[in-house]
Structure 1
């Protein structure tokens, strides 16, 4: 990996300017196969040669052990064992990508890191059903200038397969009138399942979408259906919950669309993202989100959205 790309990883200010531009930066890497994989740069803390890993007993499949990183003990996982377990081992796993999301830090072993590219979210699409295997670990596909496809990993699903599904405790139900509902969008299968678990616990009706472009289309259709009601849309649609990273249109651009459309006036937008740093919160604020909640703590999510739903 070049010094230029290493510098980009540390350049938070430059990356923050991407908010609302519908662009993302992807770190490209190989797992020793012919495929090219990618991960959002916002999730990457650093890239280094693989350090000495301490083996520990009773670790889940795919977890190679732990390392000490600046005084913190973090797990190190073999991405190849998750993404292409049936492939003949070709990865040297000589490189480690340290990622941080959903308040977890972990190292992922890869064969090699290539470079960082910047792409438009509208050129990032959800994978076709036939490509969405590997336990749905591929959340999106984009294409390089030479026509080569890049598979963008759903890191949330990988972490869920290691840690197990998040336990959703009993949460007090929200008092809402029968015809009131909320809307949420998220491209991760794991995240959608966990959000629905919380909403079912609090007895909230909802509609959903799998990416920003689909969400915006559905929200406009909702606004059109309710435009002849005597009450404004905000009396029925109480809250919109958006993910930050989504194919075709990210949550920042989606929020800008919502906030600039007078039909959605008074409807709060909460950003629910695995990108939990202060910089990402600032990016959310810059496009007008009313609250920002990090994935995934079901109690915190419920406590964040409940006041809006009962307003």
Structure 2
């Protein structure tokens, strides 16, 4: 266990190779779950928790960690499972998503694995609206569920999708011909809905895809019908997606003569740190952290 705790912060640089590292953990059962190491700040034995009045039911309490007060979320309960009663032998995975830091209470932490995004697949069809998977992969002959953390966090504290009226007014003066659709690539159902609502509020339509591979196939299909820039305003892509990540998608767009002129915005929950050199290397025009509707709308306005 000490090896995992010591290595998390040193192993968060694996991006841009269509690969990722997953921290494997378990809740109240045998099922393994995974979280991207790049979003993990540290893993520690569950600290002493202080229960706050009127807190959300899935927040076990708050802890003071390195001078910061952090909410600790009972991940099992948040996903509709059995609540974690005793925390003495549990662990807290401290993570940063969408510009906020929170801890996830888990029963055990196993190890870090290195996998290719191509081996990360969308959840099975028919898994249901209430499932919390954004992707699955197979490790040692067992299915590992990669959680849709954005969905969990949105249920605890829903993000606003309203765009400032001044930005909406500025975009309303654009010529109608500039209101071509925007192609969205994101594996999180919550993120897709948030982006669609924000884009709709500025009077623009979206074409929605669920991962980089699906987005690239759609772009190539559209390019076969005519100049792509006459059909789309831009691409807004998540970075972490099954089958093909956002960096690889951007690199593929730039290497395709029919697609390379598209404006690409990388829009990701990796809000702690990111590889700016890599963003420039693959050719993305902009990189913004989720989820600030005003910032997203302003990035769209600047691109137009």
Q: TM-score, normalised by structure 2?
A: 0.91
Kindly state the Cα deviation for residue 261 of structure 1 after the two structures are TM-superposed. 0.7
SS in 2 for 1:191: helix
2:234 alignment partner, one of 234, 239, 246: 239
Cα offset for 1:216?
0.8
Q: Distance in 1 between matches of 2:98 and 2:278?
A: 17
Report what 2:53 is aligned to: 57
Q: Does 1:177 align with 2:176?
A: yes
Quickly say closer, same or farther: Cα 1:78–1:260, change in 2 above 3 A: same
Aligned to 2:143: 149
SS of aligned partner of 1:237: coil
Counterpart check, 1:259 vs 2:254 = yes
Pairwise CA RMSD: 2.0
1:70 match:
66
Q: Assess if the C-alpha contact under 8 Å between 2:159 and 2:291 holds in 1.
A: no
> Which whole-Å deviations, capped at 9, do the CAs of 1:156-197 have from their partners, x for residues lacking one?
111101112424144414524347222111000110000001
Matched, 1:124 2:126: no
1:249 corresponding residue in structure 2? 244
- Structure 1 position 163 matched with structure 2 position 157: yes
Q: Secondary structure at the match of 1:108?
A: strand
Q: Which residue of 2 aligns with 1:229?
A: none
- For residue 84 of structure 1, report the CA deviation from its aligned partner: 4.1
The structural deviation recorded for 1:225 is 1.1
- Secondary structure of the residue aligned to 2:44 is strand
Determine the structure 2 residue equivalent to 1:22.
Answer: 18
Q: Is the 8 A contact 2:21 2:114 kept in 1?
A: yes
C-alpha deviation, 1:204, in angstroms: 1.1
Query: Could you tell me how far 1:288 is from its partner in structure 2?
Result: 1.4
Is 1:225 the counterpart of 2:198 in the alignment?
no
Structure 2 CA distance for aligned equivalents of residues 207 and 223 of structure 1: 14
Whether the 8 Å contact between 1:66 and 1:73 is mirrored in structure 2 is yes
Where do 5+ consecutive residues of structure 2 fail to align? none
1:244-298 CA-partner distances (Å, limit 9, x unpaired): 0001111111111001111123211110000023334443233211100100000
Is the Cα contact below 8 Å between 2:70 and 2:103 reproduced in 1? yes
- Residue 7 of structure 2 aligns with which residue? 8
Q: What secondary structure is seen at the aligned counterpart in 2 of 1:136?
A: coil
1:33 paired to 2:32 = no
Deviation for aligned residue 1:237: 1.9
Contact 1:47 1:97 in 2 (8 A): yes
Q: Determine which of 109, 112, 127 is the counterpart of 1:113.
A: 109
Counterpart among 288, 293, 301 of residue 293 in structure 1: 288
Change in 2 beyond 3 A, CA 1:59/1:42: same
C-alpha distance in structure 2 between counterparts of 1:245 and 1:88, whole Å: 29
Instruction: Please say if residues 74 and 84 of structure 2, whose CA atoms lie closer than 8 Å, have aligned partners that are also in contact.
Output: no
C-alpha contact 2:96 2:272 (8 A) present in aligned 1: no
